[in-house]
Homo-oligomer: A and B are copies of this chain.
């Protein structure tokens, strides 16, 4: 199969078979001498999963770390967390140049400055629509509409063939801000010849076309103009077009915009620096919020996903130090629940309604559109680029499968793959030729642990049934020196008869010890194991659950 230039290969290390955590690698050359390119380095948010104490999930990049000598660089398509959120944590393992457009670069730098101890990363700022080389890869940026400024598809040209990596995109002729999807360049690339289209599948289950950001802007304008009192709008901070729509509406309604929440402040500052809020009035600090008449203010808040510590949740709980809302005020959720967050968002909405605040969501008003292509848009992309083959990426199994079916109906050859599949893209039709390690890392405090480490599984066990700890001092005659100490946590205080489970456990310690044959009492390990079993059984008989039990034996 291999020609004089070897093969072009591709492997998703994240984002294919799941939502979020997008990281793709492309390799060029023969197997023993391949140069590599990374496209995107994203995270997933753990709150939707049952991972206690974990905020972020990162792709396990051990495979590409091993290839680091042959790694030419990292290209970031855009600045959403699921495409660039793992850079600060993973770059120290890679230490190669990063290529990003101005807004993405500025947001990465702003993020780095907000995290003490984050690495100083070399960023090559590349212009929109530009063409540049990363090692042997000839990359051309294609501007695409999305829900953040400067989303880019990548044309990747190599001696063995050219492919299109769409990144996140949609078609929006009136995107409020930034460039629409560059149809002309995509058609021209189609004329030139595209072997494989690697395309966003997120919305492949949805019929038709997404409405435009301009339609959303109109709705928001109407809602702000007609509001009888204060208005708060919550949206994804990075959606600068949406922020701009709110600002324009506020100006029409003669209201000041107050920005609430650190993520929102950071994006606003970066958008000002990069010109995306040129011509937009100055926003006001939270300190003036309380002094503005209620019909003269719009609060732009973080917290659209019900995050408990974000601005809107704190406002809904009446726990925000500076920003309050009251009966008759209006809150607009200019957002959509990310699956898994429904319950948390519901809590915020119900908290607001309990205070007599009006809540408007996309259930009844066009106050949000997705940034991903629906089915008619996917068909347009295929008709423009006319790829020989298509590989669905960015999505769960359902989305990949629907995207695949759609492409097949358009007459395109389809390969579906999953994280860790190594796919030969060229020469020849795409084929899975190998498997590479791909998994997940959890960010636990400051430490990255592998998904296989026992830490999280142990914490789940603790959260299910608590822990009993027993300390015994054992002398060399096999006698207890001093009274045993015992502590229970995460276990009900009393059984159904009202007896203390602590007393029951303590009795079990003594009874188990006394029931041991004399010679076994000298063996600390043997005593520990017997007491552990005795305590667990005693608690289980009263509770119906077996706690973890640690028995610490000190030999004195």
Contact between chains at A455 and B492 (CB < 8 Å): yes
Which residues of chain B have C-beta atoms less than 8 A from A507's C-beta?
A: none
Chain B minimum-CB-distance residue to A540: B445
Q: Is A280 an interface residue (CB 8 A)?
A: no
Q: How far is the CA of A483 from the CA of B552 in the complex (A)?
A: 11
Q: How far is the CA of A465 from the CA of B490 in the complex (A)?
A: 13
Q: Is A349 an interface residue (CB 8 A)?
A: yes
For chain A residues 364-389, which have a beta carbon within 8 Å of chain B? none
Q: Is A69 an interface residue (CB 8 A)?
A: no
Contact between chains at B471 and A466 (CB < 8 Å): no
Q: How far is the CA of A205 from the CA of B364 in the complex (A)?
A: 10
15 contacts between A and B (CB under 8 A): A17-B350, A17-B354, A350-B396, A353-B401, A444-B492, A444-B543, A447-B544, A449-B492, A455-B466, A455-B493, A458-B489, A460-B463, A485-B554, A486-B552, A487-B550
Quickly give the copy total for this chain.
2
Contact between chains at B490 and A459 (CB < 8 Å): yes
Instruction: Take A446-B543, A492-B449 as given contacts and tell me if A466 and B472 are in contact as well, using a CB distance cutoff of 8 Å.
Output: no
For chain A residues 322-338, which have a beta carbon within 8 Å of chain B? none
Of the listed stretches A48-56, A76-84, A123-131, chain B binds A48-56
Contact between chains at A469 and B398 (CB < 8 Å): no
Of the listed stretches A215-223, A249-257, A340-348, chain B binds A340-348
Q: Is A482 an interface residue (CB 8 A)?
A: yes
Contact between chains at B447 and A553 (CB < 8 Å): no
Q: Is A96 an interface residue (CB 8 A)?
A: no
B-contact bits for A188-229, CB 8 A (1 contact / 0 none): 000000000000000001000000000000000000000000
Closest Cβ of chain B: how far from A129's Cβ, in Å?
36
Which residues of chain B have C-beta atoms less than 8 A from A184's C-beta?
A: none
Q: How far is the CA of A459 from the CA of B455 in the complex (A)?
A: 15
Instruction: Take A340-B342, A463-B460 as given contacts and tell me if A554 and B490 are in contact as well, using a CB distance cutoff of 8 Å.
Output: no
Q: How far is the CA of A302 from the CA of B471 in the complex (A)?
A: 46
Contact between chains at B485 and A552 (CB < 8 Å): yes
Chain B minimum-CB-distance residue to A495: B447
Known: A52-B463, A445-B544, A459-B466. 16 other contacts (CB 8 A): A53-B465, A353-B397, A444-B545, A447-B492, A447-B495, A453-B493, A455-B490, A458-B466, A458-B489, A471-B485, A473-B482, A483-B554, A483-B555, A485-B552, A487-B550, A489-B548
Instruction: Take A462-B467, A467-B467, A553-B485 as given contacts and tell me if A363 and B205 are in contact as well, using a CB distance cutoff of 8 Å.
Output: yes
